[in-house]
Structures are given as C-alpha cells and as structure tokens.
Structure 1
Amino acid sequence: MLSIEYVYMSRTGKVEIDYTIVPLNELGKEEAALVKSALQARFTAHAPYSNFQVGAAALLADGTVVAGSNQENRSFPAGLCAERVCLYHASSNYPDTPIEMLAVVAFPAKSEVAEPAHPCGGCRQVMMEMQHKQRRPFKLLLLYPNDEVLVLEKASDLMPFPFESEI
C-alpha cells in the first residue's frame, strides 16, 4: 500500500490532498465489488466519438449499487460523463439515501488496460454538491493501470476550492 500526500503551494497557503494507492486485490470486499460494478457499467457506454468507455458505480447507505456510463452525443457537449449519469440516477431515484462510495473506471475501446480516470471539473463539482446535499462525504475509488486503485476518503479532496460548498 502506497500513501502519498500531494501539496499545492500558493501565495496565501497550501492545500493538502491525502490519498492512497492500493492494489485491486487488496481492497476490501465492498470496495472490490464496487470497482467490479463500475467495470461492468463501462460496457453500456455510448462512446462512438471518443472511443473511451467510462463506468461508474455508487454504493448507497442501504447497500444499493447504482451504475452509470458515459453517454456521448454528436452535438457536443450534450453528452454526460459516467460519474454524473451515476450520481444523478442515485439522487433522483434514491433521494434520501446517502452515497457511501463511488468507483470510476475508464478504458479506451480497443484496450483491456485501464486508463487513469480522473473526473473532469464538472463531475468534481457534482460530487461536491452531492456531498453537501447529503451532509457527509463519500469515498472515491479510481482504477489505475496495473490493477491499482487510487482511494480518496472524501471525493471533495479532488476539488479544494469548490463553487459554494461547505464539505
């Protein structure tokens, strides 16, 4: 297990981001099952333009798993990222059930090797708002190549200066 601290220095202070990189086979059962659900979700991606399939899966507090995949549209940017498809589905269908954990995986269409799936800025902001709405953070798992998983205990660590959020 590798633990890394990323520090961004600015003129007025610093932002620290704590994360861990864990081999996939060393994840807990719940975490490993969620990554597997995200892996399966990527097969439902509609990605004819980027050829980049992304899957996301959220574990809710009641044990429900909700999945989503990226959905592209010819009229760019009308599509949605897998993270937002998954989170919006969870929010609209389970509005009172908090999200405990979100797993995200990404693969180029013609490859069996994962690519780092760092969420875009829009997805990071949606994660922040979901955490704010449920008044607690959720864990984020990002599958890396060679079956390593970047683990953040709070999705908000991806976005230290969000647009009006308290978490």
Structure 2
Amino acid sequence: MKEVKIETTLQVFDNIKELPEALQALMSQASEARQKAYAPYSKFSVGAALLLDNGEVITGSNQENASYPSGLCAERTAIYYAGAKFPKAKFVKMAIIAGSQLHPTLTPIPPCGACRQAIAEYEVKQDTPIELYFMGETGKVVRSNSLGNLLPLLFDKSAL
C-alpha cells in the first residue's frame, strides 16, 4: 500500500474590500444576481458572476422548482448560459455569494459538488484554470486559483 497526501492552497481575504477593484465589481455583480434568485423552498439564495476572456460578464442565480432536484444552481446557470452564448470564450474568474434568507451567513460558501463538476468540465475544455472567489453574505472571501483545488480527484473525459 502507498499513502497519497493531497494538499490544496487557498487565499482568504478578511473582506471584499481587500480585493482589487475589478474583483470587487465582479463580487458586486454576483451580489446583484443573488437578489434575483428564486429560492422559495430552501430559502438559500446564491448569485454568481462569470468573467469571460472577451470581457463579458455573465451572471446567474439559483432557480428552484417544486420538483426539488429540477432546480439549477447559480454557478451552473451562469456557466451554461455563457457556454451557449459565447462557445469560444474562456472562463477567467467566477465570483459567488451565497446566504440564507433566514439567518446571517458569515462563512464562505463554496460551490456544491455538481457545480464543481460543471466548472471542472470547462477548465478541462479550455485547458486553463478558472479563478474562483466565494463568500457568504458578508465577511471573508476565499480565492482558489483553480477548481482543481476544490476537486482534486477530478472526473473528466479522460475516464470515458
């Protein structure tokens, strides 16, 4: 038997004001998108803003459905729209803000497993990492320079 150790490195900012202005603007767009979430069941609203290499910013918010698993997360809403509208564009950065409508969410909320897999698909497709920035409603912001930091044992087309 051989033991394998997997490590990851993330950067943590105390608050959004520590980010460069361009990233503060991207986080602001994610926050605005969060206000458009349709989350009557979970009461958990998420907004995402995706910066493309052509300068476009695509936003998304979570959209729930009474048939609960039929909804879609904010990250995938933005990713799939960007992929459909700008199929040749690379995804550069994604900002995510998430929080409960019932109580303050002060800790950073990373993408769920399904969203991690969707982001990974585009990292593999474009052969370029996507920077991720995520937070709760307020407080610390976490930066990952690649989805690979959040999903190190990636399932991709090479396994098919």
Tell me the C-alpha RMSD between the 2 structures: 1.8
Matches within 5 A, 1:130-141: 130-141=122-133
- Look up the SS of the partner of 2:108 in the other structure: coil
Instruction: Give 1:24's aligned residue.
Output: 16
Instruction: Give 1:87's aligned residue.
Output: 79
Matches within 5 A, 1:32-111: 32-111=24-103
- The C-alpha deviation readout for 1:10-44, integer Å capped at 9, x for no partner, is x5311111101013111011211111100000011
- Report the more deviating stretch, 140-149 or 66-75: 140-149
Point out 4+ residue stretches in structure 1 off by more than 3 angstroms: 110-115
Q: Larger relative contact order (C-alpha < 8 A, sep ≥ 6)?
A: 2
Is the 1:144–1:150 Cα contact (8 Å) retained in structure 2?
A: no
Is the 1:105–1:114 Cα contact (8 Å) retained in structure 2?
A: no
Work out the CA distance in 1 between the residues paired with 2:81 and 2:137: 27
Is the 1:107–1:115 Cα contact (8 Å) retained in structure 2?
A: no
Whichever residue aligns with residue 140 of structure 1, its letter is: L
Structure with the higher fraction of residues in strand conformation? 1
- The C-alpha deviation readout for 1:111-142, integer Å capped at 9, x for no partner, is 56555322111111111101111111110001
Instruction: Give 2:134's aligned residue.
Output: 142
- Report the more deviating stretch, 110-119 or 66-75: 110-119
Q: Percent identity?
A: 37
Work out the CA distance in 2 between the residues paired with 1:69 and 1:78: 14
Where in structure 2 are there 5+ consecutive unaligned residues? none
Give the number of aligned pairs. 157
Work out the CA distance in 1 between the residues paired with 2:8 and 2:136: 18
Is the 1:101–1:139 Cα contact (8 Å) retained in structure 2?
A: yes
Where in structure 1 are there 5+ consecutive unaligned residues? 1-10
After TM superposition, the score normalised by the length of structure 1 is 0.87
